[in-house]
Amino acid sequence: QVQLRESGPGLTLPSQTLVLTCTVSLGSITTNAYYWTWLRQAPGSGLEWIGTISSSGDTYYATSLKFRGRTSISRDTSKNQFTLHLSSVTPGDTAFYYCAGGRDYGSDWSYNYDFWGQGTQVTVSS
């Protein structure tokens, strides 16, 4: 079973760039037709898709106003990792962040993804 693990700072200052890395084990991020995704869940809210990188390196991002122009996902195939960069963070970006993988992407629904990390709490505060 593919395993994912998020890593990154638990606390980020407003206006800074949040950087979270997902390390994948027991599976490769270059496996054909698989997608690797970042989602988040803020207190009292549902799951929210942020963006995805495909097995071939193509990227897809949520186009809602809250994310537009702030999101970037990259990967390091030698380390089997993919990384989220979310710039100009505000306290509104405080949430539990998850990485996930599977044959689907773009959904806010958890059942669309096959593999999940345990998640990491990110707080944006000065």
pLDDT score at 66: 87
Number of Cβ atoms within 10 Å of the Cβ of 67: 16
pLDDT score at 37: 98
Which stretches in the chain have pLDDT values below 70? none
| Residue 53 buriedness (CB in 10 A; 0-12 / 13-18 / 19+) | buried
